[in-house]
Amino acid sequence: MDDILICEINDFDWKLVGRIEKLENRNLGSKASINCWVIPVIIRYGKFIAAQKSKENSDIIGVCELIRDWVCKDKVFLFSFYIDRDYRKKGVGRKLLGKAIEILKNENFKEIELTVDPDNKSAVELYEKFGFKRVDLRKNEYGRGINRDLMRLEL
């Protein structure tokens, strides 16, 4: 996995949007994924950081989507973070999250928040390794019975 390329995507074409939409559905399911209407908005007005197979192969295998907090301007919300299921447990998530944190620090952000399924042990462990702390349990965050831990990292 040494040849994995982490890059910020600042522009798009509809072919790329379609590939991301399929990846979202494959890895998050149709109810949790974002669609072709939202992907361009995140790319243009948020931050869209991707893990690609290599410089030569631009297939996206991991995604980190970030949006800025309007109340606290030096805080961002990690809106979506996932690694394609065929590439999990290979260090891609660690590399992608590390690069995202580095980018945010360089842009003088002070805090990152995210929500995570408390039962998603792999994700919780990854976030904790980077210093995220659980600060709240948000009951029914994404619908009845869909609870999420709110985690925060001070940069």
pLDDT in tens, 33-52: 677 888 999 999 999 999 99
pLDDT in tens, 10-37: 998 899 888 888 888 888 777 766 778 8
Rounded Cα distance between 83 and 92, Å, is 7
Length of the chain: 155
CA dihedral 64, 69, 72, 74 (to 10 degrees): 30
pLDDT in tens, 86-118: 999 999 999 999 999 999 999 999 999 999 999
pTM: 0.91
The domain containing residue 90 runs over which residues? 5-154
| CATH code (residue 61) | 3.40.630.30
Query: How many domains does one find in the chain?
Result: 1
Beta strands 75-83 and 60-68: pairing type? antiparallel
pLDDT value at residue 12: 84
